[in-house]
Amino acid sequence: MDSFPTVDKCASIGREKHTVVADMDGTLLRGRSSFPYFALLAFEAGGIFRLIFLLLASPLAGLLYYFVSESAGIKVLIFATCAGMKVSDIESVARAVLPKFYSSDLHSESWRVFSSCGKRCVLTANPRIMVEAFLKDFLGADLVLGTEMSTYKGRATGFVLSPGVLVGKNKADALKKAFGEAQPEIGLGDRHTDAPFMALCKDGYIVPPKPDVKAVTTDKLPKPIIFHDGRLVQKPTPLSALLTILWIPIGFILACLRIAAGSLLPMPMVYYAFWALGVRVTIKGTPPPPAKKSIGQSGVLFICSHRTLLDPIFLSTALGRPIPAVTYSVSRLSEIISPIKTVRLSRDRATDASMIKKLLEEGDLAICPEGTTCREPFLLRFSALFAELTDQLVPVALVNRMSMFHGTTARGWKGMDPFYFFMNPSPAYEVTFLNRLPQELTCTGGKSSHEVANYIQRVIAATLSYECTSFTRRDKYRALAGNDGTVVEKTKLQANKVMGC
């Protein structure tokens, strides 16, 4: 490999008509180990026992990697992770979970060269099914050549197809087969087994291992990652995966205690109980006083950003009184354990409007007009129906912090969302009450409902330093789950105009 210059010597100007061929781990990505991504796939598609199996198999994979061959070690990881797993589950994780973690580890120097070329190809020892969605959708790769896995009746067998794991000579053969006599201008690799395919390119460049090399910032990616799924917050190393496995039973018991405290104690005491149990609640701004029903005063409609299903509960915790919330697609378990009243939207505009007006006559009410949660610093489009129903509007900016588990899911069972949030060692919520909307900025003051909704979206986004988007619930679920996020009722009611979509 000493015959190849380092990647920082490669010019990236005038490469629009050139072809680049790059390895993935250690080249496009800063990390040379593929274990974290196999661990993510194992946990998100196979559960905790699959992750345990992978963790137990990883020492054997390491020994084979260093003392037998790179190919043998990767075969063990593939088998331990994927044997018996549904191909559709692997594809789902590759589309919805892995891109977030891959993109956070993108090598800045390699990306500088890779992104400057007009045609981009990636050669990788990883299973193609794991990496193709990220490489094509987010990095603009035109061709992905990776290890092909054997399948049977829609499930992965855990074995690989001929010619085997794409390393060394197999990479060079795959490159020859794909390009024929054509010779790519640039080859990028990071280890001696990449030399055969790099030698087939006009110029080869080595990416040396540098622990301090910077990752590519999100603003330099061709496509921002707004939606992503999965339960794990951090990329799992073998040590962190072990700690996660050991923490889960402890965390589940702790989550049950926290949920019981929130559900059984009077709301004025919940704030202090949460703090005693390690849940941090920070309150900013001045909340409005409760509506006085005795004098005919209408309730306030709290317009909240949507981070998890627990948003209305932490709003109530901050206020010290239970605030009913209108919801969509909440699980029956979440309704049972909820300390506040939850009212389901019918997805019929007229019915929902009538219901919300009636609830406001009884007192204050909370609503999340995004219609679904978003983990990243973005706000989805606000549905405008709420603005037509009252001029007593109070925006509430909600943001949370989780260190181990995400408290939302698009692909899994939503009934576990509260448990996963409270399983974090020290989860936190910040509730910021903004000023009540002046009457001249409401529909009563002559503004359209869309103008009001867009204005509140911008105000909350500015408070949180988030970006506004026009994405909707359907966009999120199509990206993450391959559907539009609707729930088919037994009565098969269909509505064209939907609140929160």
Cα–Cα dist 90/153, whole Å: 14
What average pLDDT does the structure give for the chain?
91
The DSSP line for 49-91 is HHHHHHHHHHHHHHHHHHHT-HHHHHHHHHHHHHTT-BHHHHH
Number of residues assigned to the chain: 501
All CATH 3.40.50.1000 domain ranges of the chain, comma separated, are 7-220
Q: How confident is the model at residue 31 (pLDDT cuts 50, 70, 90)?
A: very high
Give the percent of the chain with pLDDT over 70: 95
Mean pLDDT on 21-27? 96
Residue 500 has pLDDT above 70, yes or no: no
Q: How confident is the model at residue 294 (pLDDT cuts 50, 70, 90)?
A: low
Per-residue pLDDT, 311: 96
Q: How confident is the model at residue 466 (pLDDT cuts 50, 70, 90)?
A: very high
Backbone angles phi, psi at 156, to 5 degrees: -80, 135
Q: How confident is the model at residue 397 (pLDDT cuts 50, 70, 90)?
A: very high
Residue 497 has pLDDT above 70, yes or no: no
Mean pLDDT on 102-106? 94
Q: How confident is the model at residue 212 (pLDDT cuts 50, 70, 90)?
A: confident
- Taking only the tens place, the pLDDT of each residue in 296-342 is 678 899 999 999 999 999 999 999 999 999 987 777 788 888 889 88
Half-sphere exposure of 356 (CA within 13 A, CB side): 29
Q: How confident is the model at residue 486 (pLDDT cuts 50, 70, 90)?
A: low
Residue 214 has pLDDT above 70, yes or no: yes
**Edge-to-edge strand list for the sheet holding 143-147:** 143-147, 119-127, 19-22, 186-189, 203-206
Q: Which residue has the tokens 């063990």?
A: 76
What pTM was estimated for this model as a whole? 0.91
- Taking only the tens place, the pLDDT of each residue in 148-205 is 999 999 999 999 999 999 999 999 999 999 999 899 999 999 999 999 999 999 999 9
Nearest to 160 by CA among 85, 78, 70, 87: 78
Cα–Cα dist 208/94, whole Å: 27
8 A C-beta contact, residue 428 and residue 400: yes
Nearest to 22 by CA among 173, 93, 159, 125: 125
Mean pLDDT on 18-47? 96
Domain 7-220, architecture per CATH: 3-Layer(aba) Sandwich (3.40)
Q: How confident is the model at residue 490 (pLDDT cuts 50, 70, 90)?
A: very low
Task: Output the CA–CA distances (angstroms, integers) from residue 41 to 34, 44, 138, 177, 201, in the order listed.
Answer: 11, 5, 19, 30, 33
The total of other beta-carbon atoms located within 10 Å of residue 269's CB is 13
Give the percent of the chain with pLDDT over 90: 80
- Taking only the tens place, the pLDDT of each residue in 413-449 is 888 999 999 999 999 999 999 999 999 999 999 999 9
Per-residue pLDDT, 501: 28
- Taking only the tens place, the pLDDT of each residue in 377-389 is 999 999 999 999 9
Backbone angles phi, psi at 205, to 5 degrees: -135, 135
Mean pLDDT on 360-387? 93
Q: How confident is the model at residue 2 (pLDDT cuts 50, 70, 90)?
A: low
Q: Which residue has the tokens 């706000």?
A: 379
Enumerate the H helices of 363-444 as residue ranges.
Answer: 417-422
Residue 499 has pLDDT above 50, yes or no: no
- Taking only the tens place, the pLDDT of each residue in 245-281 is 999 999 999 999 999 999 999 999 999 999 999 999 9
